[in-house]
Amino acid sequence: MLLNPVISKLAGKRVVLASASPRRQDILSNVGLRFEVVPSWFKETLDKSLFSAPQEYAVETAKQKALEVARRMHMKHLKTPDIVIGADTIVTLEDAILEKPLDKQDAYNMLSRLSGKEHSVFTGVAIVHCKSQEDNQLDTDVIDFYEETKVKFADLSEDLLWEYIDSGEPMDKAGGYGIQSLGGMLVESVHGDFLNVVGFPLNHFCKKLAEIYYPPSKQSIHRVKHDSIPYVESFEDLSDVEKDCSSPSKTYDKKKAKSDSDSNTCSPGPSTKHATGIQNGVEEKPSGTVHLPSKLIELMDGFKASKTLFAASKLKVFDKLKDKGALKAMDIADKINASVHGTERLLDACVALGLLEKTHQAYSNTELAKTFLVSDAEFSVHDFIIHSNDHMWTHFTHLESAVVEGTYSHHKACGRTAEHVHGPEFKERFMRVIHCMLKITAQDIVTAFDLSKYGTACDLGGCTGTLAHELTWTYPEMQVCVFDLPEIIQNVSKFQPEKSDSSRIIFTSGNFLDDALPKANLYILSRVLHDLPEDKLHHLLRKVSEACNPGISALLIAEIVLDEEKKEPRALLQSISMSEGKQRSGTEYKKLLEKHGFNSVQIRYTGNLLDAILAVKR
């Protein structure tokens, strides 16, 4: 296997993708690469006439995107990445670069030129290795390359052209089409890497990583001669390279790499071995053998893994191991007041899940546990896990009833009164959960778009002010108002970071559904819209729209955004919570916001807990 050893080499590194493209994120996530998403602010204004070939322009743009993110993270966020990946995809016809269409007529002109012809798609890729020097200077080493794929369009009729243009898909695509979606019906043939046309040349990228981390020795190169093709150089199998433990990452993978389904089998008889026959040199499966897909086994056992994490967190196992080195099961059992044999089984399960390490019968925290699971760690998700255990777990055990009734069954599931649910204890726990979630996602939300032109912001339902602090840190000129209910505002002091300039943040009490909204250039709604019933949703968006000045103001939304084909599991699993509101796709959010006068809507899939939407009222 080529990629597995490469991933093990990247396990301890902060890998950043300098692109908001959901297609690139999916391609890299699908092969198991763990990375953060920090979209580049580099303005793609390079003079194309200065480049002798289109691919040189793509490579230089990718390089500048990656370098901009590397420098910004190093200087503004004080989080120097180890590796930044930049990419830029262009479509060329007869050496002319076709940009994104300006309007429908421009899309028509572009697609008409491509009709019946072969064109080239180039993706330039830059891999920037970063290192912080002793004088806090950033040292970078850039490896870049490009991939070319030839694409031939069919002869397109006028009706087909306009049908495709009216779908809206061409408007944000280089060359005016997306091959992975409706644009695929325009394509007659593809010569080369299909994923390169989608937006990222995965095969070439993997080979480049192998060259960087596993340069072949003379002994590992074989020259294979065939009668009709030139010599081919092939690498030795690298699957036996030592694998490293996984390391903390600030993002969650959108998809898990598919495992080998042949590794798990289930047979109906008492014996696990069956005789096999050979027919014409092909091994036949014995009669009665059933292969249960590993994906299904993973789904059937998934709740056990979740509950293991929840139980270990509830019992503060990771806290007990903090700064203690390695402890034996009996010592941990004593600290958590539990049985030794029960504790040992829980600890071994945590080791199997990659949450703990075990050496000579002693257990210690992994880097992942130190970063995310110890309750007082900077980026701890402990409160979020406890909320999932105490609140969401109970609710999801009643999912069948909720589906049948089509209603939110929280009170029935939890058996609690309205007074208890809305009491002080519940509100404080709610604040801890929101604070915990936004600590992890705030940076990705506020950097998904360049918000520097908005001098004032108002975070409606801003809770503890986590987003506000990230905004003022990222944009030094911005003033932020956190607008929330009185009982929330009066308890925010305990959540304020120790080292923070709060002079540009004010906390104001109010109800954004009933009270007048504070004046601001940028309004923010984080995890609000998905929970509102339709009448309140439209009422709130109408108020925000009326408060916005055309061309000056905007609305920033942080929500889980469903993918257009509704295949991404995490967002869909969240959507079945049967709350009064609902989760929406990017297209659904765009239509909703356009209905309230926001006619410029951009979606950014961050790869983190929440995605970002920027809606501007023109």
CA distance 338 to 317: 11
Give the count of domains, the chain.
3
**CATH number for position 34:** 3.90.950.10
pLDDT along the chain (618 residues), means of 10: 59 85 88 86 84 92 93 79 94 88 90 93 95 81 95 92 90 86 90 93 90 65 43 36 36 37 38 42 53 81 92 95 88 93 94 91 91 89 88 79 67 44 66 83 90 94 91 91 92 76 88 95 94 92 93 92 80 70 89 93 87 90
Give residue 99's domain range.
3-234
CA dist., res. 256 & res. 30, Å (int): 6
Under 8 Å between Cβ of 293 and 261: yes
Q: What is the pLDDT of residue 227?
A: 42
pTM: 0.53
HSE (CB half, 13 Å, CA atoms) of 284? 9
Let me know if 95 is exposed, middle or buried by CB neighbors in 10 A (0-12, 13-18, 19+): exposed
C-alpha 173: how far from chain center: 21
- Beta-carbon neighbour count of residue 552 at 10 Å? 13
HEC secondary structure over 236-298: CCCCCCCCCCCCCCCCCCCCCCCCCHHHCCECCCCCCCCCCEEECCEEECCCCCECCCHHHHH
What are the pLDDT digits (tens) for 194-203? 999 999 999 9
Q: What is the pLDDT of residue 11?
A: 67
Q: How many residues belong to the chain?
A: 618
Q: Do residues 227 and 151 make contact, with C-beta atoms less than 8 angstroms apart? A: no
What is the predicted pLDDT for the residue at 215?
Answer: 67
Asked if residue 227 belongs to a domain, the reply is: yes
In-domain check, residue 270: no
Question: For the domain that residue 339 is a member of, what is the CATH number?
Answer: 1.10.10.10
**Same-domain check for residues 363 and 487:** no
**Which of 234, 266, 290 represents a domain boundary (last residue)?**
234
566 domain-assigned: yes
Distance in Å from the first CA to the final CA of the chain: 51
CA angle 558, 309, 265 (to 5 degrees): 105
Q: Do both 365 and 492 map to the same domain? A: no
**Residues labelled as active-site residues:** 88
| Residue 525 belongs to a domain | yes
Assigned domain for 92 exists: yes
Per-residue pLDDT, 424: 62
Q: Residues 438, 537: one domain?
A: yes
The predicted pLDDT at position 339 comes to 94
Same domain assignment for residues 183 and 330: no
CB 376 within 8 A of CB 387: no
In a domain, 399, yes or no: no
pLDDT given at position 200? 94
Residue 355: count of CB within 10 angstroms of its CB: 22
Distance CA 528, CA 422 (A): 17
Element (H, E) at 98: strand 96-98
Let me know whether 368 and 431 are in one domain: no
> Is 364 found in the same domain as 430?
no
Residues 368 and 432 both lie in one domain = no
> Tell me, what's the pLDDT at 312?
96
Residues 149 and 38 in one domain: yes
Q: Domain check: are 347 and 453 in the same one?
A: no
Could you identify the residue written with the tokens 């598919």?
A: 258
Mode of pairing for the β-strands spanning 327-328 and 362-365: antiparallel
Please, what is the angle between helix 329-336 and helix 340-352, to 10°? 110
Q: Are 335 and 480 within one domain?
A: no
User: Could you tell me if 449 and 514 lie in one domain?
Assistant: yes
Which residue from 126, 120, 254, 144 is spatially nearest to 197, judged by alpha carbons? 120
* Joined tokens for residue 18: 């300098």
Same domain, 345 and 456: no
Query: Among 176, 200, 234, where does a domain finish?
Result: 234
Pick from 464, 304, 439: nearest CA to 382: 439
Question: Last residue of a domain, which of 346, 372, 398?
Answer: 372
Q: Which CATH number does the domain housing residue 481 bear?
A: 3.40.50.150
- Whole-number pLDDT of residue 261: 37
Q: Is residue 249 part of a domain?
A: no
Residue 294 located in a structural domain: no
